[in-house]
Amino acid sequence: MSKPVRTRIAPSPTGDPHVGTAYIGLVNMVHARQNGGTFVFRLDDTDRTRYRADSEENLFRSLRWLGLDWDEGPDKGGDFGPYRQSERTAIYVEHVNRLLESGHAYRCFCTPEEIDAHRAELRAQKLTPRAPRTWRDADSATVEAALAEGKPHVVRLKVPLEEDITVQDLLRGPITINSKELQDQVLLKADGFPTYHMASVVDDALFEITHIVRAEEWISSAPIHKLLFDALGYEIPVLCHMPLLRNADKSKISKRKNPTSLLHYKEAGFLPEGLLNFLGLLGWGGPKTETGNQEIFSLDEMIEHFRLDRVSLGSPVFDQAKLRHVNAEHLRSLSPEDFVARARDYMFEQTRMLALAPLLAPRVETLGEVCERADFVFGEIHHYTAETRKHKDKNLRVPLPGLCPAGVEPLDAHFALKELREALDPLSEWTPEVLEGVCREQATPLFLGWKAKDLFMAIRVAIAGKPETPPLFETMALLGKSRTLGRIDAAARALAEPGKKAIKRWEKSKVERAKLRAAETVPTE
């Protein structure tokens, strides 16, 4: 008798919820539902240096908005919990000790400097860079002495030195990688937390996951995971590596070229069923009909017709025009009553309107002026002039006045907005006071060298599409983090699309300016 199907997603709460997480989550949920199985939500929060509480909250909020519904998880419980990996540390340590005792793992006391030097030496020899295996076969007395001294260390997997490792993939068949291409992966970090590899394998085994459906970027990790499953005596689940979402130029989808945050699409007014339909089309052509594939379908129809083993391995393109078309079809299918309700809930959401009221009331004389004054709050904006924004040739589109200060090259203005975005992105407190502090710091000579008024105008035009708004930082707070950052990204793309050389020059500039800032903060006698 076959085991009941159990699938999972294990997102990391380290940034905005990604459309890729929704894409993989949708496939996992659909496969579980059509097989009468269980869909599990597990939180991969072991990277405590990058963990963000607001990111965790946004993950739950955005995935629920989209319509993904898990059966077990941190918020629902279940028989296999806890479902936060940070609460399972003792379980991982116990499994690491099993591997140490069986000889499948070892303690490594190499310093970061020793590891860097060894990797540099291997690169010079045009070999695969890896950490040194100095401690791989150290005797117990040497290890005990190092432990007694309190030397920091990690625990590494003892990977076979030269052996073909084969894993079976549902879509790709057998995948073989020789172990000489692998390094002895860290299983337990010096801070006592497990790495992704260790926690993922242990949890997939203990949660009785039957199908690991994940992005193809994890293919290179599959041999390591197989070694761990085998060493721990667990059966490896069915592996299915989904094709990565791509930009139109076939590069991996990234926020530099496409909005990747689920919050962006929610706040831009897309319907959850429209976005789900679009994600379902990626890698799968839709339900088959006599005249071809059905392009517009519901979640229930996807559950009925989708088959995991029929996913195409072609690179699915996250095409914004296609997404808008699919979403429009779902909008047009709404009844007039439902359309009005959806529009009202989106445009005049109570919390947003209460925050907007004190900013707008002093600036209008009639209610008829509300939408005109706050149009950038209620809908999308464009970062090109009205006369040029519909040109098919992007080179003929002219960015809005104010995005690029007089005397500044558009490429430099692009990077200035990108650097501003990088400074804003880590903020967990999105208040006018905090935003003003960060933005003013970006206008200092050691950052952009712009006057504050020029930077603030560029931000204003980027987030509102016009030079006049309610107070800037209150407006940023009102729009929220996701919408603000998404609009800054879009404005930067409107200014320029830099090549690799330009990006490297700007990265070098950032490093040099960081050194200057550090030197300024060093106390002198």
Rounded CA separation 450/164 (Å): 57
Residue by residue, DSSP assigns 294-337 as: --S--HHHHHHH--GGG---S--B--HHHHHHHHHHHHHTS-HH
**387-405 burial string, b = 16+ CB within 10 Å, else e?**
eeeeeeeeeebebbebbbb
Phi, psi (5° rounding) for residue 306?
-65, 140
Rounded CA-CA distance 154/107 in Å is: 6
- Judged on CB neighbours under 10 Å (0-12, 13-18, 19+), 327 is buried
Q: Two tokens at 302?
A: 């996807």
Q: Could you report how far apart the first and last alpha carbons of the chain are, in Å?
A: 77
3-class DSSP state of 367: helix
Q: For residue 47, give the nearest of 75, 86, 79, 21 by alpha carbon.
A: 86
- Distance, in Å, from the CA atom of 210 to the CA atom of 420, rounded to the nearest integer, reads 44
- Cβ atoms 62, 263 nearer than 8 A: yes
Q: How far apart are CA 323 and CA 317, in angstroms?
A: 10
CA 480 – CA 371 distance, rounded (Å): 19
DSSP state of 17: P
Q: What is the chain's Cα-based Rg?
A: 26
Q: From the candidates 151, 180, 255, 466, give the one annotated as an active-site residue.
A: 255
Residue 459: Cβ-neighbour burial (10 angstroms; 0-12, 13-18, 19+): buried
- In the chain, what is the greatest distance between 2 CA atoms, to the nearest angstrom? 83
Q: How far apart are CA 368 and CA 412, in angstroms?
A: 40
Active site residue 255: yes
Rounded to the nearest 5 degrees, what angle is found at the Cα of 334, between the Cα atoms of 329 and 339? 115
Q: Are 297 and 326 in contact (CB under 8 A)?
A: no
> What are the structure tokens assigned to 329, written together?
């079809």
Catalytic residue numbers read: 255
